[in-house]
Amino acid sequence: MADVELVGVAEDSVSPAWMKGDSAKAAAAVGIAYFDSLVPLLDANTVDAVVVCSEPTRHAELAARALAAGLHVLVDKPIGVNRADIAQLAKAEATAVGTLSVINRLQSPAVQRLRRWVDAGTMGLPLHVDVEWFASGAHFATSVERPELVVDPSLSGGGELLNFLLYPVDYIRFLTGLEVVEVHCEASTLFSQLHEENGVEDCAIVSLLLENAVTATVTVGRVPAAPGLGPVSSSIRILGSHGNASSDDDKPQVSRYDTAGGISALPVGGPSSVAILRIMLKQYVQELQSGRTPTYGLHDAAASFAVIEAAYDSVKSGQPVRVSTAR
């Protein structure tokens, strides 16, 4: 983006050597400055916005510090690893000059097409949504620079539920306009020795009850070979009162089937991970430049996190769990 200048990459002065080394390499790879302290980049006189992309257990702390410094903040998912993180960010945002947003995939061309079909009423009322989200274990060593950032709870905060469930829940909330009220989840470690050694799940099946008795199911996991061409792949199916529609982010294309036997299939956008990130970042920059509040903020991230929290509680209890709306 020609109207954005990367100022630098910074790591906290108290961080371990390997984190500093990784951050320095990232800066060198794109030819920008590296700072062995956060102070230079927490300066609202020289920096407009920061991206927090540390290990998940530090996301909330770093985001709160940046908000306190008067900056706009874009946080990698998950926004936090527990309810205290969400509360910390809500408190920081309440008095902040800058805005808070979170990396998301709602600008997926396929998802946007599905939403337009829902809004047009071509499928009637959405009654059930099914989402599959898989990361390929075959890409684990290449797409995740340090696997411990995913499997070590002291860094990741949890397993693949915390890592990935945000995206499907975002999709479901966006496509239905409804909140999740109850969760039942079964999770296990079926494929990955690294996950098993660290005591975190690599896959899960999640059943969701939404407002107005709408239902949804999510299958999420890191599997030996995901059904796609890249590190992650996802598919969405909406069952409506007068038809259904599906999308495959990896192809990507969307399809719609109606009660009269009609079928529509459309290619949309480009390779999902690249296209979505570019679109999201472009929109985020435009929102900041125009003085608008980013479309996806703490409210949405906290709502999806509450579902993740309920899913973990359900795994522990073996029972359905109501979603907490408290921050």
Instruction: For residues 135-157, give the mean pLDDT.
Output: 80
**According to CATH, what is the number of the domain 8-104+290-294?**
3.40.50.720
Name the 3-class secondary structure at 3. Answer: coil
pLDDT of the residue at 259: 65
**Residue-wise pLDDT tens digits, 233-248:** 889 999 999 999 988 8
Mean pLDDT of the chain: 91
pLDDT tens digits for 30-74? 999 999 999 999 999 999 999 999 999 999 999 999 999 999 999
Q: What pLDDT is recorded for position 326? A: 54
Q: Is the pLDDT of residue 22 over 60?
A: yes
Q: Please state whether beta strands 49-52 and 72-75 pair in parallel, antiparallel, or not at all (unpaired).
A: parallel
Is the preceding peptide bond at 78 cis, omega within 30 degrees of 0? yes
Q: How many residues does the chain have?
A: 327
Residue 265 has pLDDT above 70, yes or no: no
**Percentage helix, strand, coil, to 5, in the chain?**
40, 25, 35
Q: Omega into 147 within 30° of 0, i.e. cis?
A: no
Cβ atoms of 189 and 200 closer than 8 Å: yes
Mean pLDDT calculated for residue range 168-189: 98
H-helix or E-strand spanning residue 88: helix 83-94
Q: CATH 3.40.50.720: which residues of the chain?
A: 8-104+290-294
Architecture of domain 109-270+302-322: 2-Layer Sandwich (3.30)
State how far the Cα of 88 lies from the Cα of 193, in Å rounded to an integer.
34
Asked if 247 and 236 count as a contact pair (C-beta separation under 8 A), the reply is yes
Q: 272-289 and 109-120 are packed helices; what angle lies between their axes, rounded to 10 degrees?
A: 70
Range(s) within the chain of domains with CATH label 3.30.360.10: 109-270+302-322
Count of H-run helices and E-run strands, the chain: 12, 14
**Confidence bin at 258 (pLDDT 50/70/90):** low
Of 134-143, 221-230, 274-283, the range with the highest mean pLDDT is: 274-283
More confident residue, 208 or 192: 208
Which of these ranges, 117-121, 159-163, 165-169, 257-261, has the smallest mean pLDDT? 257-261
Confidence of residue 96 (pLDDT cuts 50, 70, 90): very high
